[in-house]
Chains A and B, each alone.
Chain A
Amino acid sequence: MPDTQPDQPAGPTPALPTIGILGAGKVGTVLSRLLLAAGHPVLISGSGDPAKIALIIDVLAPGAVPMTSEEVAREADIVILALPLGKYRTIPADALAGKLVIDAMNYWWEIDGHRADLSDPRTSTSELIQSFLPASRVVKAFNHMGYHDLDEGPRPEGAPGRKAIGIAGDDAPDLAAAAALVNAAGFDPVPVGTLRDSILLEPGSELFGANLPAEGVQDAAARFPETERGREVAAARADEDAA
């Protein structure tokens, strides 16, 4: 865009928070594109040297800035976790202190291997992430929709047939910030409960893989306790409470 056009801002709207994305794979690159398109500055990291992902970012998410995970965590206002869940211990916890962290990760045994700690029905994986990041505020979002639906599905706010993304968290202002981000990405945000409830967005639940409008996401979330997975989770948690 020529900079002689006085009506056009020279860069991203300064009011929009800078988004950091940890993970430059399928989900990380798609989310980068969506949030850049919404005007957010985006910082992104892979698993090591930013030079390793420079070409990937230049082609698949042009405009995002490749950095180390440590730098992304330190410099971004909100950080999205889009790395394989099994690698969560590599997340720079100290650099994320005091920040809103959006957990888009899922337990996927084909990548992570079979792990009891990631598939315990008593604990949502976002609760696990929250306990690993005690000084951050974790909200679950962007995890249940397949990355190709994320890529193909964004629509402007109010557009007919706009798809929805369930979000879950413990704190109203943080949920509002996550909702704004989901909306900016092109989807209707649907709060489905607390971080403990976020298990209903995980693999094994009806919502996992779902690509539905808001009422569909609300209905599926409401149905969760009656589903097989819902009953399994409730039973495991009742045992834990009794113990």
Chain B
Amino acid sequence: MPTTPIEFGLNSFGDVPTDGSRTLSDAETVRLVVDEAKQAEAVGLDVFSLGEHYREGYVDSATPVLLAGIATATERIGLGTAVTVLSTNDPVRLYNEFSTLDALSNGRAQLVLGRASQTQSFPLFGYNLEDYETLFEEKLDLFMKLQREMPVTWEGTVRAPLVEQTLHPTMRPGGIPTWIGVGGSPNSVIRAARYGLPLMLAIIGGEPHRFAGHVDLYHRALDQFGLPRQPVGQHALGLIADTDEEAAETWWRSWEPLVTQMGRERGFYPPTRERYELELGTGALFVGSPETVAQKIVRMTQELQISRFDLKYDIGGLPVDARARTIELFGTKVAPRVRELLAAEGDEAHHDDHDSHDLYRIGSTHA
């Protein structure tokens, strides 16, 4: 029976939650994230990924350290990032961290490389935002060389040169799964294709089908570079509760102040309830009952041809139990329901194939 395989990931930025009227401490949040990753494994999800941020309200700054903690507390679940800010990391250090994580977790490490939608790491580590393109391009070149063709001799402008360098622990042959995270820039899509790396679409606002052109561009670019098809994934924000109403109200209470604050920092218009309702209906937010969220994910597999869907379940101030409920329902209800719907779809397609095959046979008999 042909079914479209799909993987489900859970993404956390280590957002600090509330418990009743109390806000958790940073240290409590770090430990909570490990527990949530264990829960994600228990409910059957495929990957647990952490972001990389450097500001109040987020505890994911030391991503590989936290992932190592999760690695020793779990057995099966994939361990990834969402996203690693490659431009302000040293590719050599990053290799060492993730080859160690991969060894520690017995081959469960993976990465999404990108720029992230926040930029605090640039001044923090002494980089200029306007050098973003050069930093990313050169560091991606080096990081992929380290993964694919060690020993490496490399020279560039963003770090010291390497001569016949080998790193240890050495990664598995070919390296770990490395995705490129993009937010809409066509050039970034072409870059992912040039390196033959899978594409993670970060869609955090507006109608996701806008990205259908990017997926087409990605496939056409891979073809042009003579490289095989690679998976496309989607990173989205959301919350799953027993009913659509409960989900919508709980998410709004955290999302509205967060987006208002981001708007203040970047100078854009604060969110309205009307806009929010649009994001829930046809937009980028995956907030609702298990059935609502499952149906929306199935739409994404059709519109964007995704074979991986990552849900970021934590935003600042969300109650701990709402997070736990999201993880539980995502694993036990949404993921199986999406697979069921895709299998039914696959069956239909199979029937169609079968019919046309029969017609073809009849045609040739008559010929």
* Contact stretch, chosen from A69-77, A130-138, A143-151, A180-188: A143-151
Task: Output the least CB separation between A51 and chain B (Å).
Answer: 12
The closest CB in chain A to the CB of B224 belongs to: A55
| CB-based closest 5 A-B pairs | A203-B267, A209-B268, A148-B206, A209-B269, A204-B267
> Known: A56-B187, A113-B129. Contact between A152 and B267, CB under 8 A?
no
Contact A148 B187 (CB under 8 A): no
Contact with B along A98-125 (1 / 0, CB 8 A): 0000000000111111100000000000
> Known: A29-B186, A55-B224. Contact between A60 and B267, CB under 8 A?
no
The closest CB in chain B to the CB of A151 belongs to: B210
Separation of A59 and B216 alpha carbons in the complex (Å): 7
Q: At the interface, yes or no: B266 with Cβ under 8 Å from chain A?
A: yes
The closest CB in chain A to the CB of B214 belongs to: A60
> Known: A25-B186, A25-B187, A29-B186. Contact between A59 and B129, CB under 8 A?
no
- In the complex, chain B residues whose CB is within 8 Å of the CB of A149: 206
Q: Which residues of A contact B (CB under 8 A)?
A: 24-26, 29, 46, 53, 55-56, 58-60, 86, 108-114, 146-149, 151-152, 202-211
The closest CB in chain B to the CB of A61 belongs to: B213
18 contacts between A and B (CB under 8 A): A25-B186, A53-B186, A55-B221, A56-B186, A59-B217, A60-B214, A60-B217, A109-B129, A111-B132, A112-B130, A113-B128, A113-B129, A146-B206, A148-B184, A148-B205, A151-B206, A206-B269, A210-B269
Q: At the interface, yes or no: B263 with Cβ under 8 Å from chain A?
A: yes
Q: At the interface, yes or no: B220 with Cβ under 8 Å from chain A?
A: yes
Contact B129 A152 (CB under 8 A): no
Contact for B190 among A55, A152, A202, A209, CB less than 8 A? A55
Contact A208 B220 (CB under 8 A): no
Contact for B269 among A46, A202, A208, CB less than 8 A? A208
The closest CB in chain A to the CB of B267 belongs to: A203
Q: At the interface, yes or no: B119 with Cβ under 8 Å from chain A?
A: yes
Contact for B129 among A110, A205, A209, A210, CB less than 8 A? A110
Give 5 A-B pairs besides A56-B190, A148-B184 with Cβ atoms closer than 8 angstroms. A25-B185, A56-B217, A110-B119, A209-B263, A209-B269
Contact A205 B206 (CB under 8 A): no
Contact A59 B269 (CB under 8 A): no
- In the complex, chain B residues whose CB is within 8 Å of the CB of A211: 275
- In the complex, chain A residues whose CB is within 8 Å of the CB of B205: 146, 148
The closest CB in chain B to the CB of A25 belongs to: B185
Q: At the interface, yes or no: B207 with Cβ under 8 Å from chain A?
A: yes
The closest CB in chain B to the CB of A33 belongs to: B213
> Known: A109-B129, A113-B130. Contact between A60 and B269, CB under 8 A?
no
Contact B186 A60 (CB under 8 A): yes
Separation of A25 and B119 alpha carbons in the complex (Å): 20
